[in-house]
């Protein structure tokens, strides 16, 4: 049970997210489908909070901590820049961006992009969670071996 909780918590950490938590789960012999489900749930849990509150948090940081405010400004600019690249098919692009298992592309960055581009929660959440689901299948297959998913 402890390994499941750690997997769930790891999947909520930026940068580690689903990818790192699935590696931990495999190393601790958690079955692939259980690991993917736990990591998926943990990775999607912070998304609505990020979308709803990140702008307020950044504004507060800029006001009270100018040095950290510059960092927040860089994050906002990066999100807007990444989002601008996807502007045409924004929901498909958001889903694809989150699904790509590379550093800096995940649910946290996808939620940040959605917030900076003023995409409504009820629109962004399904796209981001779909991207996390795609990443879960892909990373679980790589981590555990695609053969273990089939048989």
Give buried/exposed letters for 96-135 (b at 16+ CB in 10 A, else e). bbbbebeeebbbbbbbbbbbbbebebeebbebbbbbbbbb
Q: Supply the pTM of this predicted model.
A: 0.84
Tens digit of pLDDT for each residue in 67-125? 888 887 887 777 777 666 555 688 898 999 999 988 888 999 999 989 988 899 999 99
Residue pLDDT, tens place only, 15-36: 899 999 999 999 999 999 999 9
- Give the start-to-end residue ranges of the domains of the chain: 2-150
């Amino acid at each position: 049970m402890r390994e499941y909780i750690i997997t769930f918590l790891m999947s909520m950490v930026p940068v580690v997210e689903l990818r790192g938590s699935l590696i931990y789960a495999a190393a601790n012999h958690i079955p692939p489908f259980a690991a993917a489900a736990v990591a998926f749930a943990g990775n999607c849990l912070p998304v609505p909070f990020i979308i709803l509150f990140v702008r307020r948090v950044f504004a507060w940081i800029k006001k009270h901590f100018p040095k950290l405010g510059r960092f927040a400004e860089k994050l906002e600019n990066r999100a807007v820049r990444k989002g601008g690249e996807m502007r045409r098919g924004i929901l498909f692009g958001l889903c694809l961006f989150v699904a790509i298992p590379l550093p800096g592309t995940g649910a946290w960055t996808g939620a940040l992009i959605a917030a900076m581009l003023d995409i409504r929660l009820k629109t962004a959440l399904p796209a981001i969670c779909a991207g996390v689901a795609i990443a879960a299948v892909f990373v679980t297959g790589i981590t555990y071996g695609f053969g273990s998913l089939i048989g």
